[in-house]
Amino acid sequence: MNINTNSVAVVGLQWGDEGKGKIVDLLAEAADVVVRFQGGNNAGHTLVVDGEQTVLHLVPSGALHADTTCVIGGGVVVDPGVLASELASLRARGYLVEPGSLMLSQEAHLILPYHKAIDQARERKRGKGKIGTTGRGIGPAYEDKFARIGIRAGDLLDRDGFVARLRENLAEKNAYLEAMLGEGALDFDSVLAELDESTAGLLELVADTSSWLDEATRSGSKVLFEGAQALMLDVDHGTYPFVTSSNTGTGAIATGAGIAPSLVGRVLGITKAYTTRVGSGPFPTELDNEVGESMRETGGEFGATTGRPRRCGWLDAVLLAKAVRINGVDGLTVTKIDVLTGIETLNICTGYRDPAGEPCDVPSTVAALELVEPVYEQMQGWDEDLGAAQSLDDLPRAARAYLARIEELAGVPVDVVSLGQDRSRTLVLEHPFGV
Ligand code: IMP
């Protein structure tokens, strides 16, 4: 077990939407810095404080704490228009008004209008075979990063260089949009004018966040790394190709934040008490029936970014154990256990069988994963309302047994239990910062 409690990583263990934003907001109370290290505004982190809801897509979920510095690391892809408007609405409410309270890595790649156009046009063209992306240009922006033609936040500081690269890239992207995707070309002057407007207020945020974070961590600041999406959407370890275009796990923190791997401390993995996924792709424990429907209704399972209904199903402990292993999870947060109230018998998937009926591991292809049969273990449900519980002992025996079984199957302790959207509805059994 990792004993460095100066830094904590919060990572998703399923297909996203586990409630990472709420937990990061809660833990940010004890943190000096909150860092996003991958993904972009495909994320939608919902925070509810005293009944007031804030949805953040790019700004780290520490934004509501006055003394917390928020950092957008170099591994994030940033849509300047989205960042500018998110920042403006937070500032209008009195958050992030201090200079230096939000920093943007000079190495963060920008999501540009042609990335969004390509993402959306490709999805339209794919029709039924679509990935179900958020349409925010995430994949095309990461493609350009790795093709070494991306434009980074730091490039905005050299106006002539930025304009020249934009012109060159747009010519190439327009050719692709027109010839391959049958779309209209984007107009250079309009694209530039849009970017000039959205980036004007962002220039002052651009910084060498890698050095700054190294210094902060080594001088004893408490740092929280906020994952977006989750391991089953990881471009390497998820249900490829129905994944996002970044590495989403603990392994991405060092590269995405620009810090030494040894500076990553305790890892808190977040899982719902059941499973959801948005977008296409295999989902072995999906419930296409009234139980799944009741999870969606009770749990408010509609995307924070796109509003799409989420697919719902039983907890899949096979995938959970895989995500715990790859992320090096030290402790779990189990969210939304209150949503299961009233379901008489609960199922947990503890294994898979292949089409021949033989026990099997998680297959690496989606075609094979589509065909596995989940093996279920049944557990007794409960009827009591969990919302008012102040400690684990206040939970009904069946709910405690359910949590204990998750611990056994995941092989790590449950550190935090979330019983509702509000910050106050949380049982912190073991604080990851050790406070
Ligand atoms: P992209 O990240 O927009 O390219 O979308 C790729 C896949 O990841 C799609 O299935 C999306 O629905 C899913 N996805 C991306 N971000 C999130 C998220 O924050 N929560 C849940 N699913 C996400």
Q: Is residue 372 part of a domain?
A: yes
Cα–Cα–Cα angle for 6, 10, 13, nearest 5°? Answer: 145
pLDDT of residue 36: 98
User: Same domain for 345 and 298?
Assistant: yes
Cα of 84 vs centre of ligand 1, distance in Å, is 22
Query: Do 135 and 303 touch, CB atoms closer than 8 A?
Result: no
Ligand 1 proximal residues by C-beta, below 6 Å: 15-17, 42-44, 131-134, 136, 138-139, 228-229, 233, 242, 244-245, 278-279
- From 46, 134, 272, the mutation candidate for ligand 1 (largest count of ligand atoms within 8 A of CB) is 134
User: Same domain for 215 and 172?
Assistant: no
User: Same domain for 259 and 354?
Assistant: yes
User: Same domain for 193 and 218?
Assistant: no
Cα–Cα distances (Å) from 131 to 40, 217, 320, in that order, read 17, 38, 22
For ligand 1, atom 22: residue with the closest CA: 16
Q: Give the single-character DSSP code of 38.
A: S
Highest mean pLDDT among 4-8, 152-156, 277-281: 152-156
pLDDT band at 2 (very low <50, low <70, confident <90, very high): very low
Closest CA to 418 of 393, 396, 389: 389
Q: What domain range is 40 assigned to? A: 7-106+208-428
Q: What is the gyration radius of the CA atoms in the chain, in angstroms?
A: 22
pLDDT of residue 309: 94
The active-site residue, picked from 32, 45, 57, 338, is 45
User: Same domain for 200 and 236?
Assistant: no
Q: Is residue 66 part of a domain?
A: yes
Q: Is residue 295 part of a domain?
A: yes
User: Same domain for 198 and 217?
Assistant: no
User: Same domain for 367 and 388?
Assistant: yes
Q: Is residue 12 part of a domain?
A: yes
User: Same domain for 125 and 255?
Assistant: no
Q: Is residue 214 part of a domain?
A: yes
Domain total in the chain: 2
Residue 45 CA: nearest ligand 1 atom is 19
Position 44: which residue type? Answer: G
- From 126, 233, 235, 283, the mutation candidate for ligand 1 (largest count of ligand atoms within 8 A of CB) is 233
Is 144 an active-site residue?
A: no
Q: Give the single-character DSSP code of 235.
A: T
Cα of 3 vs centre of ligand 1, distance in Å, is 32
Q: Is residue 60 part of a domain?
A: yes
> Is 3 a residue whose pLDDT tops 60?
no
User: Same domain for 148 and 248?
Assistant: no
Provide the 3-class DSSP secondary structure of residue 359: strand
For ligand 1, atom 8: residue with the closest CA: 244
User: Same domain for 50 and 179?
Assistant: no
- Domain end position, chosen among 204, 234, 263: 204
Cα of 178 vs centre of ligand 1, distance in Å, is 26
Cα of 135 vs centre of ligand 1, distance in Å, is 9
Please, how many CA atoms are within 13 Å of residue 131, restricted to the half-sphere of its CB?
21
Tokens of 70: 């928020």
Position 377: which residue type? Answer: E
For ligand 1, atom 21: residue with the closest CA: 16
Tens-place pLDDT, residues 278-313: 989 999 999 999 999 999 999 999 987 788 899 999
Cα of 291 vs centre of ligand 1, distance in Å, is 24
For ligand 1, atom 16: residue with the closest CA: 42
Sign (positive or negative) of CA dihedral 150, 155, 158, 159: positive
pLDDT of residue 5: 65
Residue 306 CA: nearest ligand 1 atom is 12
**Gap between the Cα atoms of 395 and 121, Å rounded:** 49
Cα of 414 vs centre of ligand 1, distance in Å, is 26
Provide the 3-class DSSP secondary structure of residue 77: strand
pLDDT band at 1 (very low <50, low <70, confident <90, very high): very low
Segment 190-200 shows an average pLDDT of 97
Q: Is residue 433 part of a domain?
A: no
Residue 228 CA: nearest ligand 1 atom is 19
The shares of helix, strand and coil residues in the chain, as percent rounded to the nearest 5, are 35, 20, 40
CATH number at residue 357: 3.40.440.10
Averaged pLDDT of the chain: 95
Tokens 């934003």 belong to which residue?
21
Cα–Cα distances (Å) from 425 to 23, 336, 388, in that order, read 11, 10, 8
Tens-place pLDDT, residues 94-114: 999 999 999 999 999 999 999
Overall pTM > 0.75: yes
For ligand 1, atom 9: residue with the closest CA: 133
Number of CB atoms found within 10 A of residue 314's CB = 24
CATH number at residue 140: 1.10.300.10
Query: Looking at per-residue confidence, does 321 or 424 come out higher?
Result: 321
Of 33-37, 143-147, 383-387, give the lowest mean pLDDT range.
383-387
User: Same domain for 97 and 125?
Assistant: no
Cα–Cα distances (Å) from 4 to 150, 275, 293, 316, 323, in that order, read 36, 30, 42, 30, 21
Q: Give the single-character DSSP code of 159.
A: H
Cα of 304 vs centre of ligand 1, distance in Å, is 11
Is 57 an active-site residue?
A: no
- Domain end position, chosen among 204, 222, 248: 204
User: Same domain for 36 and 156?
Assistant: no
Q: Is residue 325 part of a domain?
A: yes
Sign (positive or negative) of CA dihedral 65, 66, 67, 73: positive
- Domain end position, chosen among 161, 179, 204: 204
